[in-house]
Amino acid sequence: MNQQRTLLVAMLVAVSLVAIALLLDEQSEFEAAVQMLKDEQVTLATAVGADFETRLSRLEQAGEEVRLDGGNVRTRLGQLLGGALQLEKPRSRLLLVARPEDGLLLRTDGRAVSSPTLLSAARSGVSGLILPRDESAAFGLPPRIAVAGVETIEGRNGTWALIVLVSGERLRARERYAQLRFLLGLGGVTAIILGFGGAALRQQRRKLDVARALETASFEREREKLLAKADKMATLAALGSGIAHEVATPLSTIMARVEQLLPANQGDPRASAALNVVLAQVERIQAIIRGVLGLARGELPPLVHARPDVIADNAAALSRHRLAQAGVELVLQVPKDLPDVACDPPLLEQALTNLLLNACDASTRGATVLFSAHQEEGALCFCVLDEGDGISAEAAARAQEPFFTTKPKGYGNGLGLAITREVVAHHRGELRLEPRTSARGTRATIELPHA
């Protein structure tokens, strides 16, 4: 929407600039035409004034007193102007004669006309000027601007002024043509700009429609994924509830029998220690089941401060038996000076155990699994690196989905990484699976915030 608004503003600005340029050009042409008309009248006034001066000189040399009053005005004007009278055209061009000191202008028909502007120009020696519209109408010319050429002649009895006054009516036609040209030019340019702008807007609208359709399709795909995930999590919760219910009775029986055997084996330290281990592991199983069920129901686990090396040692202890059976060496590199992590220890230990067991399953006999921890900016990272065949991008993208597995039938149910992901998510952390870059195998990383 913002792009469309910007394009519309740009189109309006372009049309406005073109209109201003055309108006300035038209105004410039009009002023040039007025100046040309004024120059023509100045030239004409100079030529008529030269003839007027010659005729005036002859009359004065003949001893005649040249006056423009009484009943011989028209005759005297005819003598002074001669053939120049033919230059006059009704309502177009007039010839005017004046003695500036008399304060009146005489037309060739003998009528006197008052024009302060022309008389002032004659007195000051101005050769050309533009007459206002109101004064033009006083001479019987159309109510348009009029242009005058003024020529002053020095006689024996004073100064004379010869004025050629022409109407700017013919500029009217030029002005109308210029206006028509302006409108046509502006219309053409506007049509071109609107055409290209409209095409751009249509193309942009199509792009927006395509983007909206892609966004809608992406939203639908994400919604389907969320629905599928929710369905799997609901299945996992139901399955976990059923398993917990079915396992609770056998665990209770085991715990009861162990508690019965403990008093009878007080004198045998080895047997008593073994029974205590069994009892602790039963309690651990019950805690893990409660935690997983809580995660499935969306409950947040209780978090306590724990040392990362202790968490890692416990996870390694739970996994070492399986690794030894598979002939896989476990290398533990967890410094003891790492900052505490806020966690539910049994759940986090089980999540790390799942990663170690997956690394064991991916390794061949004689391989090594490296279990390490290190500190990054604002986070603590547990890393498990195996030397297996590695993980593909497609498998890495789906490995954390419930019930997805690449293991052979009977060797995996696809729940280990799904549970691990939920455990890590409830600890405000992140689980990443990626191929190793410097060697064969897979890197599994759990990143958790500091306590």
Domain count, the chain: 2
pLDDT digits (tens, 9 = 90+) for 18-39: 677 767 777 777 777 778 888 8
**CATH, residue 76:** 3.30.450
How would residue 331 be classed by pLDDT, with cut points 50, 70 and 90? very high
- Tell me whether residue 183 is in a domain: no
Give 237's contacts (C-beta < 8 A, 6+ positions apart): 293, 296, 297
pLDDT tens per residue, range 223-281: 766 555 555 555 555 565 656 656 666 777 777 777 777 777 777 778 777 777 777 77
293 within a domain of the structure (yes/no): no
pLDDT in tens, 180-234: 666 676 677 677 776 776 777 777 778 878 888 888 878 777 776 655 555 555 5
Between residues 385 and 250, the one the model is more confident about: 385
Whether residue 233 contacts residue 223, with contact meaning beta carbons closer than 8 Å, is answered with: no
* pLDDT band (50, 70, 90) for residue 389: confident
Q: Within a domain: residue 383?
A: yes
What pLDDT sits at residue 92? 82
* Domain-ending residue, one of 135, 167, 199: 167
Judge whether 230 lies within some domain: no
Last residue of a domain, one of 100, 134, 167: 167
Is residue 384 very low, low, confident or very high in pLDDT (cuts 50, 70, 90)? very high
Closest residue by Cα to residue 423 from 242, 287, 292: 292
pLDDT band at residue 157 under the 50/70/90 scheme: confident
Please give the residue range of the domain that contains residue 398: 303-449
Q: Tell me how far apart the alpha carbons of residues 310 and 346 are, in angstroms, rounded to a whole number.
A: 11
How much of the chain is in helix, strand and coil states, percent to nearest 5? 60, 15, 20
Q: Judge whether residue 309 has pLDDT over 90.
A: yes
Q: Is residue 192 part of a domain?
A: no
Q: Tell me, yes or no, whether 146 lies in a domain.
A: yes
Q: Which of 431, 361, 367, 353 is nearest to 399 (CA)?
A: 431
- pLDDT at residue 249, rounded to an integer: 65
Query: Can you give the CATH number for the domain in which 321 is found?
Result: 3.30.565.10
Helix 2-61, helix 73-81: angle, nearest 10: 100
Q: Which of 126, 142, 167 is the last residue of a domain?
A: 167
Choose between 292 and 449: higher pLDDT.
449
Give the DSSP H or E segment for 97.
strand 93-98
Supply the pTM of this predicted model: 0.43
Quote the DSSP letter at residue 83.
G
Q: How many CA atoms lie within 13 A of 244 on its CB side?
A: 17
Question: Which residue type does 16 have?
Answer: S
Using DSSP, state whether 65 is helix, strand or coil: coil
Residue 333: helix, strand or coil by DSSP? Answer: strand
Count of alpha carbons within 13 Å of 114, Cβ hemisphere only? Answer: 1
Residues 72-106 have pLDDT tens digits of 778 877 888 888 888 888 778 888 888 777 777 88
Distance from C-alpha of 334 to C-alpha of 339, rounded to nearest angstrom: 12
In a domain, 392, yes or no: yes
